[in-house]
Amino acid sequence: MRVADFFCGAGGFSEGFRQAGFEIVFAVDKWIPAVNTYKGNKPGVNVVLDDVIRISQLPDKEFETLVPDSEVIIGSPPCQSFSHSNKSGSADKSIGIQLIEAYLRIVARKKFKKNSVLKYWVLENVPAVKEYIKEEYKAAELGLKGDFILRPHDGASGKYNAKYFGAPTNRERYLCGEFPKPIATKSDNDVATLQMVLDSLGDPLNAENDIITDVNYPELTLKRQQMTDHGYIYELADFEWKTAKRLKQDKGYMGKMSFPENTEKPARTVMATMSTSSREAMILKYGENMYRLPTVREAACMMSFPIDYWFYGSTKATKHTLVGNAVPPKMSYAIAKAIADTENEPIPEHYPMIVHDKTIDFVNLDGTTFEIKKEQRRRDVAKFKYHIPYLIINAYRVELTNYHSDFENKKFRWDVEVHYSQGRNKAKVYTPKIEMNHIPQQYRNTIESFLRATQNRMPGMNGFQIVYCMTSQEQAEQQFIGPYELLDDVRNLIDTLLTPEEQKQYISITGEPKRLPIATVIGYYVLSKLINRMGGLQ
């Protein structure tokens, strides 16, 4: 059976169909590295560099000349605007909707034309896309003539997770169209894990030419030096992994994430951008207090690409984008197999090795040296908003912020606030007037000693901003502390005064919210006093 692939990317969607014995007859993408990667791994396929929206609107004769008939159409329109990780789900959806409708227009033109051969079509995207795809599209809604109706959500449409089809990644996606239900091959008890990927590929710096067995395709073996994009290390600087750790394990009300990655589970969703200092960063342990990013090959194996698949990007970033934007081949294979079974078509008994197009230039990252990133100063108007670390009690946290500064004139103001919960309906911000007499007597002397010692290390409102913008090395070479260090010191004070259980006990205060956990009261009081005294140093 023939397959046409739209928004083909690096070819992950069609790779599963290739392995299942389908004939890939057409593919299109508008990104050159994607087109080169597709051509490089699937010689003989008609791959074009073009815009799917433009193709969908071509006159009939030009459209039919360019796009061959096929029994299957697959497509994965770019999903960034629909992802909840993009601007917390509030990104502009208009371009994404245009791309989806272009794909549906192509499907409709092939499906409802005279003597159509199209039997199956599949659209893959992030789960949130479902609410932006209508239940049905009349011809006019797609800019076409006729009285047909296309119903994208019928049949086996639904959410599917790649880990249940053998991919070592927890990657949930929405599939819709006309296709038989793919059959899961794994359960939660036997899913492939990140550790299996790491064990199968081994140490990236292993210089031996031993045999590598593909964790996803056990009959596929290569000598280590035949495998690409694994023989290098991208080590993280201290400031990178420390920032990522804080964001992963102490990010307000968002749940804690493993640091480093939990290798006993399937990998988290592989991202198109392999970030370093973010909550989404995928970080692996590398020696004592050393951490690294996954290699391109490790990421590709997480996505279930075979180890003989090459990614034709000239940089590490481009290769990671090719991998992270793809459809896991194990998931697409399950779809292809379901179609083949329905059609009583045979499936190849063995993995079909890839024959690469040697006319396309290929850059192998093996042996590349990546310098550890040097920490840069923050912009002098950098904003700050963070709470006393790892101290959120019954949804209360004490935040230090410079958000109320006059950034345009570089007149900085630091404030302390008590925040409660999150969301439009629940979130509240308090700035109560807490005095020492609100705090139990037995803690007052220690608190006063802390205040006296710490205020000598506070540089004034503008100076505090200057210290915040310094690199870690610069901060260590001068006498003043910055906001992160101050919050750490306050947290240590609270731990010195109170046991974890004592920290949760409520005491009364004057004004809203009238009662707060004692650790929250002490943290707010101490920070408020120091910030007020710092203001007097201007």
Distance of CA 157 to the CA centre of its chain: 24
Contact (CB, 8 A) for 311 and 319: yes
- 344 phi-psi bin (left φ>0, alpha ψ -120 to 50, beta other): left
Q: Which of the residues 8, 79, 176, 301 is marked catalytic?
A: 79
Give me the residue label for tokens 């794994």: 186
Q: Which helix (H) or strand (E) holds 397?
A: strand 396-401
- Would you call 176 a catalytic residue per the annotation? no
Instruction: Give the 3-state secondary structure of 316-353.
Output: HHHHHHHHHCCCCHHHHHHHHHHHHHHCCCCCCCCCCC
d(C-alpha 287, C-alpha 279), whole Å: 22
Per-residue CA distances from 521 to 278, 281, 439 (Å): 30, 34, 8
Find the helix packing angle between 444-455 and 518-535, rounded to 10°. 30
Give Cβ neighbours of residue 336 (< 8 Å, ≥ 6 apart): 16, 17, 19, 20, 22
d(C-alpha 297, C-alpha 283), whole Å: 15
DSSP state of 165: G
The catalytic residues are: 79
